[in-house]
């Protein structure tokens, strides 16, 4: 194993093991660590045909004191269950989920980027329907696999601002607006619009509400937040965006820092007025947005540096994650 920790981006890098649970005859098994990165599936598995698949994303950090801790794994366990309930998949014990995450992190402890490299161990649980069937109905057999990999920044450049493009140009089904779920289909449908953004030199696509295209919703990879001219933290409240654990944590951190928080409908016309705009999520952490393109219109923010309020939030969040700042809310789970 020879990993250049400071050169890591956000790519799949096989680690020592993953942990797998199978659901059969109405129950989940006890799970086992597995060193293979392959699976064998029937060609008729309904995850492939009908997208009965869901995933999560969370991170483990090597803290200043040398201990490895996981950021809010119970929140991911809860969100996974809420997603899979909608996808007609069997619930997975939240306690067992947290235990499984700890077990796979422990088994791959030497893949956690050391303190000071800025990296983390990305944990990706994925659940798929495996029953061979061609009629549209829920599977009766499932696999839950939790894999891990060391990662660095999602967008090259760390906290350097990136460009975004608003999606309402293509005359196709709205790729977002599918509810509070984190499932394969939502992301596949964002590939084409995101490729349009990338052609225009933008790293991310910003989606508007699917009904009227008037409200700001979220980015393809993350939630949206903005800092108003009078210093408030504003983030969309919408039934069609993913309830981000990072955003929930940032709202708490903002309150702790005496920054007023407004979770409400955000009109696209407000983009003109914001002092700072950012993307937030597990993978992107806080990525400042330097510019948003909407047809001929361009909204400009600081294109060189992260804004002062976003920086305060970023420092507090990463300070807690890497154990530099007291974890007042008990977000960091010991192994
Ligand atoms: N929105 C979308 C579409 C995402 O893919 C993600 C990342 O998982 C988020 C928001 C942020 O969620 P979280 O902060 O829980 O990672
Ligand atoms: C995450 O942040 O964990 C996600 O799943 C988002 C994805 C763009 C990697």
> What does the pLDDT look like over 263-272, one tens digit per residue?
999 999 999 9
185 CA distance to ligand 1 centroid (A)? 15
11 is a domain residue? yes
333 is a domain residue? no
On whether both 117 and 258 belong to a single domain, the answer is: no
Angle between the N-to-C axes of helices 73-86 and 94-107, in degrees from 0 to 180, rounded to the nearest 10: 120
58 is a domain residue? yes
On whether both 166 and 292 belong to a single domain, the answer is: yes
Residue located nearest, by CA, to atom 12 of ligand 1: 244
2 CA distance to ligand 1 centroid (A)? 30
On whether both 125 and 242 belong to a single domain, the answer is: no
Supply the range of the domain harboring residue 15.
5-151
On whether both 303 and 177 belong to a single domain, the answer is: yes
Contact 241, 218 (CB under 8 A): yes
328 is a domain residue? no
Tell me which of 59, 102, 103, 182 is the catalytic residue: 182
On whether both 185 and 275 belong to a single domain, the answer is: yes
Confidence at residue 293, expressed as pLDDT on a 0 to 100 scale: 94
Confidence at residue 173, expressed as pLDDT on a 0 to 100 scale: 43
Contact 49, 131 (CB under 8 A): no
Q: Which of 246, 250, 279, 283 to mutate to test the pocket of ligand 2 (most atoms within 8 A of CB)?
A: 283
Cβ of 83 less than 6 Å from ligand 1: no
Of 98, 119, 151, the residue at which a domain comes to its end is: 151
Whether pTM > 0.75 for this model: the answer is: yes
276 is a domain residue? yes
On whether both 131 and 222 belong to a single domain, the answer is: no
Residue by residue, pLDDT tens for the chain (335 residues) are 789 998 999 999 999 999 999 999 999 999 999 999 999 999 999 999 999 999 999 999 999 999 999 999 999 999 999 999 989 999 999 999 999 999 999 999 999 999 999 999 999 999 999 999 999 999 999 999 999 999 998 988 778 999 999 877 544 444 555 557 777 767 887 888 888 889 989 999 999 887 788 999 999 899 999 999 999 999 999 988 999 999 999 999 999 999 999 999 999 999 999 999 999 999 999 999 999 999 889 999 999 999 999 999 999 999 999 999 999 999 999 99
Residue located nearest, by CA, to atom 6 of ligand 1: 222
156 is catalytic: no
Q: Which atom of ligand 1 is nearest to the CA of 248?
A: 14
On whether both 166 and 255 belong to a single domain, the answer is: yes
On whether both 34 and 57 belong to a single domain, the answer is: yes
CB contact set of 17 (below 8 Å; sequence gap of 6+): 33, 34, 35, 104, 107, 108
Q: Which atom of ligand 1 is nearest to the CA of 247?
A: 14
On whether both 43 and 108 belong to a single domain, the answer is: yes
Confidence at residue 1, expressed as pLDDT on a 0 to 100 scale: 76
Q: Report the CATH number that the domain containing residue 77 is assigned in CATH.
A: 3.30.470.10
Cβ of 284 less than 6 Å from ligand 1: no
144 is a domain residue? yes
Cβ of 246 less than 6 Å from ligand 1: yes
122 is a domain residue? yes
Residue located nearest, by CA, to atom 7 of ligand 2: 221
Of 151, 171, 192, the residue at which a domain comes to its end is: 151
Q: Report the CATH number that the domain containing residue 293 is assigned in CATH.
A: 3.20.10.10
135 CA distance to ligand 2 centroid (A)? 31
50 CA distance to ligand 1 centroid (A)? 22
28 CA distance to ligand 2 centroid (A)? 26
Q: Which atom of ligand 1 is nearest to the CA of 246?
A: 14
Tokens at residue 118, please? 């800025």
On whether both 53 and 98 belong to a single domain, the answer is: yes
Split into its structural domains, the chain has a count of 2
On whether both 252 and 136 belong to a single domain, the answer is: no
Ligand nearest to the CA of 190: 1
On whether both 167 and 297 belong to a single domain, the answer is: yes
327 is a domain residue? no
Of 102, 122, 151, the residue at which a domain comes to its end is: 151
């Amino acid at each position: 194993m020879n990993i250049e920790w400071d050169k890591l981006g956000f790519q799949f890098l096989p680690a020592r093991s993953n942990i797998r649970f199978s659901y059969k005859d109405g129950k989940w098994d006890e799970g086992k660590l597995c060193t293979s990165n392959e699976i064998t599936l029937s060609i008729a598995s309904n995850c492939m045909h009908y997208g009965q698949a869901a995933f999560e994303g969370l991170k483990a950090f090597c803290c200043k004191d040398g201990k490895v801790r996981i950021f809010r794994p119970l929140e991911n366990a809860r969100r996974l269950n809420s997603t899979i309930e909608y996808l007609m998949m069997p619930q997975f014990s939240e306690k067992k989920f947290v235990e499984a995450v700890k077990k796979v992190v422990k088994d791959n402890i030497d893949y956690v980027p050391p303190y000071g490299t800025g990296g983390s161990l990305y944990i990706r649980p994925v659940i798929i329907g495996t029953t061979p069937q061609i009629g549209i109905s829920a599977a009766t057999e499932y696999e839950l696999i939790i894999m891990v990999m060391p990662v660095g920044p999602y967008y090259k450049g760390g906290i350097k601002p990136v460009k975004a493009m608003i999606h309402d140009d293509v005359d196709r089904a709205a790729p977002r607006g599918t509810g509070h779920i984190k499932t394969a289909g939502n992301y596949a449908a964002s590939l084409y619009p995101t490729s349009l953004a990338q052609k225009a030199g933008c790293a991310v696509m910003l989606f508007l509400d699917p009904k009227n295209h008037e409200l700001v919703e979220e980015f393809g990879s993350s939630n949206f937040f903005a800092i108003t001219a009078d210093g408030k933290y504003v983030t969309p409240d919408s039934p069609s965006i993913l309830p981000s654990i990072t955003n929930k944590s940032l709202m708490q951190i903002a309150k702790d820092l005496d920054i007023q928080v407004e979770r409400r409908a955000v009109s696209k016309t407000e983009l003109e007025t914001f002092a700072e705009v950012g993307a937030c999520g597990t993978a992107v952490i806080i990525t400042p947005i330097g510019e948003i393109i909407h047809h001929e219109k361009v909204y400009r923010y600081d294109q060189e540096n992260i804004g002062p309020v976003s920086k305060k939030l970023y420092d507090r969040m990463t300070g807690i994650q890497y154990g530099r700042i007291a974890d007042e809310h008990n977000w960091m789970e010991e192994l």
